[in-house]
Structure 1
Amino acid sequence: MIDIYTDGAARGNPGPGGYGIILKHNGHTKELSQGYRRTTNNRMELLAVIIGLEALKQGGQKVTIYSDSRYVINAVEKGWLKNWIKIDFKHKKNPDLWKRFWVVYQKHLVHFCWIKGHAGHYENERCDQLAVASSHTNLLVDTYYEKQL
């Protein structure tokens, strides 16, 4: 079983943002983070999950993703994403990331666990710290998003 803790942040919405990830497996822990110069909180929440899943080297893994993002979790667990796929994401936000998510999501056995943000959960707090810190330095361009503006 692999545990992936994720969080995303944006200073302004849109504004500079970033994601933070903690991967835990067999007693090993790895942290990942990256910032973007202009993005949204929802994009960073979703990108954190994508990057966490993409970091897994083998397919077919049992994965629990811990997130405080109702946007991400509800889209999957309530079936919204499958409907968005059927309509080719017409009038939906973040189709580039949802398509990328769907590809990597299908490679694993994924379970989501919602956790309340800013409620003292150690890994969630650490992911938030990583996300906020990454929104200040070495910012990449969220090309798809910036082209939409």
Structure 2
Amino acid sequence: MIDVYIDGASAGDPGPSGAGVFINYKNGQVEHHSVPLSNMSNHEAEYEALIIALDLCIEKGLMAASFRTDSKLIDDAIEKRYVKNKRFQPYLDNAIQRIEQFDLFFMKWVPSNQNRNADALARRAINKS
């Protein structure tokens, strides 16, 4: 099973945004993905990072993954399969549709200091746009 760290960042609310995905294969191999996004809120960028990471895993056939996020919003939404703010419902629906393709999927909240790689990648993506 691989570990996938995700983060979204925005320079403003809304503002230029980026997604960071750090994949740890646990065999010494890692991948860094820094994806520029359009102007959006930080929460939207967090959801975009999740969907991008899910798509990367699906494309690579990595169907057993433990995802890590420092976003309580994302962790709670995936765990409960519910969003309080209906603006985020399409993001949740898209994520769940992808998650259902996995053989094994876990989502875990981690403190920000354990998600530094994904955070740096998300911030780098903002600078690319």
Shared fold (TM-score, shorter chain, > 0.5): yes
Partner Cα separation in structure 1 for residue 107 and residue 89 of structure 2: 20
Letter in 1 for 2:2: I
Structure 1 unaligned blocks of 5 or more: 85-90, 140-149
Q: Is the 8 A contact 1:2 1:63 kept in 2?
A: yes
1:3 partner letter: D
**Higher gyration radius (CA):** 1
Name the counterpart of 2:67: 65
1:116 paired residue number:
111
Indicate if the aligned counterparts of 1:19 and 1:34 stay in contact, CA closer than 8 A. yes
Q: Which has the higher helix share?
A: 2
Deviation at 1:50, TM superposition (A): 1.3
Percent identity of paired positions between Structure 1 and Structure 2: 26
Q: In the alignment, what sits opposite 2:76?
A: 74
> Which structure 2 residues correspond to residues 1-149 of structure 1 after superposition, within 5 A?
1-27=1-27, 28-56=29-57, 57-58=60-61, 61-80=63-82, 92-108=86-102, 109-117=104-112, 119=113, 121=114, 124-137=115-128, 139=129
RMSD of aligned Cα (Å): 1.9
Q: Any idea what SS the aligned residue of 1:12 has?
A: coil
What amino acid is aligned across from residue 67 of structure 2 in structure 1? I
Distance 1:96 1:78 in 2: 15
Q: TM-score, normalised by structure 2?
A: 0.86
Per-residue deviation, 1:35: 1.4
Aligned length: 125
47-56 vs 7-16, which moves further: 47-56
In structure 2, the gaps of 5 or more residues are: none
Q: Matched residue of 2:111: which SS? A: coil
Q: What whole-Å deviation, never above 9, does each CA across 1:37-91 have from its counterpart, x for those lacking one?
A: 31111111111111111112227x221101001111101212415xx8xxxxxx6
> Structure 1 runs of 4+ off > 6 angstroms?
none
Q: TM-score if structure 1 supplies the norm length?
A: 0.75
